């Protein structure tokens, strides 16, 4: 549920084109009942905006930031340098190396400035939303219940799957 006033999660994308992938993250957050906000900020083209989003996030109630970027993918690292909130990095498939460049740029952070990095593309976008729920569940019993129910639904979906000949 997109909620600009009381978001627990902030999704920041390096460009508008990242929304094609990150809408799966937003949809997962919606399904889990987690309020989020979204923004576009580039580590290279709008660094002041990216830094401001990170510095002010906690004051707006944000508890987790999900950063999605392609190419050099320094967005997650720039955000991590400006806040102590957890940063979840989602590398985008891009114009070079099929997203491997984004993955390496996101995961290779210097010691002491962590970015939790996920798979390239849609799987990473969905898993970042689930990981945000896991983080929120550490200090919120309702979120813990949502997480347990989510896991149980996944289990039942696999157990009930049948081949139709």
Q: Find residue 37's DSSP bridge partners.
A: 10
81 is in an annotated binding site: no
Structural domains in the chain, CATH included, are 9-159 (3.40.50.1970)
Three-state DSSP class for 150?
helix
37 is in an annotated binding site: no
Give the pLDDT confidence of 29-62 residue by residue, as tens digits. Answer: 999 999 999 999 999 999 999 999 999 999 999 9
Specify the residue for token string 């992938």: 21
Closest to 106 measured CA to CA, from 77, 143, 85: 77
User: What b/e sequence results for 95-124 when a residue is b if at least 16 CB atoms lie within 10 Å of its CB, and e otherwise?
Assistant: eeeebebbbebbeebeeeeebbbbebbbeb
Give the pLDDT confidence of 89-144 residue by residue, as tens digits. Answer: 999 998 778 999 999 999 999 999 999 999 999 999 999 999 999 999 999 999 99
DSSP state of 96: S
Closest to 65 measured CA to CA, from 8, 144, 130, 19: 8
The pTM for the full model equals: 0.94
């Amino acid at each position: 549920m997109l909620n600009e006033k009381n978001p627990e999660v902030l999704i920041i994308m390096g460009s508008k084109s990242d929304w094609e992938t990150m809408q799966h993250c937003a949809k997962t957050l919606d399904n889990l009942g987690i309020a989020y906000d979204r923004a576009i900020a580039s580590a290279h083209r709008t660094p002041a905006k990216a830094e401001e989003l990170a510095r002010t996030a906690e004051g707006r109630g944000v508890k987790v930031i999900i950063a999605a970027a392609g190419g050099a993918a320094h967005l997650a690292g720039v955000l991590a340098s400006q806040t102590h909130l957890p940063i979840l990095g989602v590398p985008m498939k891009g114009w070079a190396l099929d997203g491997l460049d984004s993955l390496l740029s996101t995961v290779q952070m210097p010691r002491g400035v962590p970015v939790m990095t996920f798979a390239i593309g849609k799987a990473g976008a969905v898993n970042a939303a689930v990981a945000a729920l896991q983080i929120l569940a550490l200090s919120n019993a309702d979120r813990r219940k949502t997480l347990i129910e989510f896991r149980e639904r996944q289990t039942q979906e696999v157990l009930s799957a049948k081949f139709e000949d």
